[in-house]
Amino acid sequence: MTGADANAKPLKAEARRAALRKLLIAAAERRISEDGLGALRARDLAADAGCALGAIYGAFPDLDALILEVNLRTLALFEAALGPDGGGFDVTNAADELVRLGQAYLAFAQSHGKRWRALFQHQFADGRRPPDGYVAEQARLFRRIEAPLQALRPDLSAQERVLLARSLFSATHGIVMLGLDARLMALPPAVVGPQLDLLIRAMATGLASRA
Amino acid sequence: MTGADANAKPLKAEARRAALRKLLIAAAERRISEDGLGALRARDLAADAGCALGAIYGAFPDLDALILEVNLRTLALFEAALGPDGGGFDVTNAADELVRLGQAYLAFAQSHGKRWRALFQHQFADGRRPPDGYVAEQARLFRRIEAPLQALRPDLSAQERVLLARSLFSATHGIVMLGLDARLMALPPAVVGPQLDLLIRAMATGLASRA
DNA sequence: CACGATCATGAACAGCGTTCAAGTGCGTTT
DNA sequence: AAACGCACTTGAACGCTGTTCATGATCGTG
């Protein structure tokens, strides 16, 4: 290295790696969206991005990291689909907001089926922790649920509210997931929305009654 | 073939295949229970069962069929864990029964973690339909939910009750699944039970109030 | 212009589920 | 009882996977 700056050396190289990363992410997004996570092949990605097979491993440590990047973008896409955080709920519209969030989740899962499924189909190897962005994105989404919850149940502590928000999401997620998955269950697609509405409203009613 | 019975020929052969099937199922059950579905290898199974690698494909069409057999036994194991169908619920104990079923589901998932996860981790290839036993077992389990539901909401039609039972199961499943899965969420294990209790009771209350 | 570190390349590797030519053993027939 | 023929068992081989690494091209630098 010539200059005093240790980072000066791989300037162009890093720029090209970043460009390749974008190409690979775009290719992986397309493959996952069209054919599902299970159909993702390293050789296809290399062909799509116009790079050598081994070049993938110069841009990402492994395919898992690439998938993680796609999943992170999927989460961001969903947050964008939720629109800006309205805030300010009271006991009269809290249940409606919970229903709205649930229906938005269902709509996103339906319109981005393969991509949304990849979020949960993908397993972290061993005990690998999810990256920071993942956890941060989750927290932002859960806060969307906590807001109307606070209006519905002002008596709950912050910690209780956090836990309940996660549980509410889990219940919603279960209905959406098994509703769209033909493996077990097979709820007719047309009834998933009404059922989700019914159960979220029931939970809101039951929670509000201090059961 | 000598006799008039066309089935007389492969009698001993079929018996040995059946014996090998049992050995392979037992081996697969152990591997899945201990190391998870993802660690299941055809070569390990052959070694465990003391047979050749190719012999597996004389007993099962492919590994998927073997996994399906293990999953079917897991479902039966869960049904046995539920105990005999009590029947006869009224509006006073219907919610309690729903909670009991949910907690039993959670307990089973917790004590048979890897095996239970295999139920949902396993994907049917292409558009392969689940075998008859699968669907029948599902129906039996869902009827366990429909019974207290009928007590809770006698006004619902049979079809509405069927759909609602599946939705209730889905919601419960979501809480259990994401509660035990460190991927997304990460609810502390100790709070999953109380949260499940809380939400099932809320749903029962909300449903009973004809919301 | 020439040198040297650095990076891209794709053939090679390890491991997977599955298959199949070849050998073995069992049931049947004489 | 003996020998034949066919079905079954066998494990090496196939095709495919993600990942690696010697080799050759490339680019920045003295």
* pLDDT the model gives residue A209: 87
> What is the spatial distance, in angstroms and rounded to an integer, between the CA atom of B13 and the C1' atom of D7?
9
Last residue within a domain, chosen from B16, B34, B60: B60
Residue nearest to nucleotide D29 (CA to C1'): A2
pLDDT > 70? residue A1: no
Q: C1' nearest to CA of A16: which nucleotide?
A: C7
A103 and A198 together in one domain: yes
Cα B157 to Cα A104, A187, B85, B163, distances in angstroms: 28, 16, 22, 10
Does residue B177 share a domain with residue B90?
yes
Task: Give the pLDDT confidence of A167-197 residue by residue, as tens digits.
Answer: 999 999 999 998 888 666 567 889 999 999 9
Is the same domain home to A125 and A22?
no
pLDDT of residue B8: 44
Kindly list the residues of chain B whose beta carbon comes within 8 Å of any beta carbon in chain A: 38, 119-120, 123-124, 130, 138, 163-164, 166-175, 177-179, 182-185, 187, 191, 195-196, 198-199, 201-207, 209, 211
Q: Are residues A17 and A120 in the same domain?
A: no
What distance in Å separates the CA atoms of residue A112 and residue A205, rounded to the nearest whole number? Answer: 30
Examine the domain organization and report whether A135 and A189 are in the same domain.
yes
CATH of the domain at A38: 1.10.10
Residues B5 and B97 occupy one common structural domain: no
**Domain final residue, candidates A43, A60, A77:** A60
Distance to chain B for A14, nearest Cα, Å: 31
Burial class from Cβ neighbours inside 10 Å (0-12, 13-18, 19+) for residue A200 reads buried
Last residue in a domain, options A40, A60, A80: A60
What proportion of chain A, given as a percentage, has pLDDT over 70?
Answer: 91
d(CA A154, CA B200): 20
- Which residues in B lie closer than 8 A to residue A124 (C-beta atoms)? 182-183
Beta carbons of A32 and A76 less than 8 angstroms apart: no
- Give kind and range of the element (H or E) at residue A26: helix A11-35
Residue A8, pLDDT above cutoff 70: no
- As a whole number of angstroms, the distance between CA A13 and CA A109 comes to 38
- Helix A158-180 vs helix A113-121: angle between axes, to the nearest 10 degrees? 120
Task: Judge whether residue A84 has pLDDT over 80.
Answer: yes
Mark whether A68 and A166 lie in a shared domain. yes
Task: Answer yes or no: are the C-beta atoms of B99 and B200 closer than 8 Å.
Answer: yes
Q: Give the pLDDT confidence score for residue A126 in this predicted structure.
A: 67
Is B104 within 8 Å of B134 (Cβ atoms)? no
**Least CA distance to A193: which residue of chain B?**
B167
Please check whether residues B38 and B114 belong to one and the same domain.
no
Q: Which structural domain range is residue B49 located in? A: 1-60
Structure token pair of residue A72: 């992170």
List residues in chain A touching B: CB distance below 8 A: 38, 119-120, 123-124, 130, 138, 163-164, 166-175, 177-179, 182-185, 187, 191, 195-196, 198-199, 201-207, 209, 211
Tokens of B83: 């105990």
Separation in Å: C10 C1' and B45 CA: 35
Residue B117 vs residues A15, A120, B29, B31: alpha-carbon distances, Å: 42, 13, 13, 13
Tell me the two tokens of residue B47. Answer: 């070694």
Most distant CA pair in chain B, distance:
72
Nearest to A174 among B170, B183, B191 (CB): B170
Quote the CA–CA distance of A187 and A156 in Å, as a whole number.
34
pLDDT digit string, tens, across residues B46-62: 999 999 999 999 999 99
Model confidence pLDDT, tens digit, residues B103-129? 999 999 999 999 999 999 988 776 677
Shortest CB distance from A170 goes to which of B175, B202, B206?
B175
- Indicate which CATH number applies to the domain containing A88: 1.10.357.10
Assess whether A56 and A68 both reside in one domain. no
A104 and A117 fall within a common domain: yes
Q: Which residues of B touch A67 (CB under 8 A)?
A: none
**A133 has pLDDT over 70:** yes
| Torsion of the alpha carbons at A155, A158, A160 and A166, rounded to the nearest 10 | 120
Mean pLDDT value across residues B4-8: 42
Residues B115, B51, single domain; the answer is no
Regarding whether B110 and B32 lie in a shared domain, the answer is: no
Q: How many domains does chain B have?
A: 2
Residue A95 contacts residue A201 (beta carbons within 8 Å):
yes
Contacts of A56 (CB under 8 A, 6+ apart): A24, A42, A45, A46, A63, A66
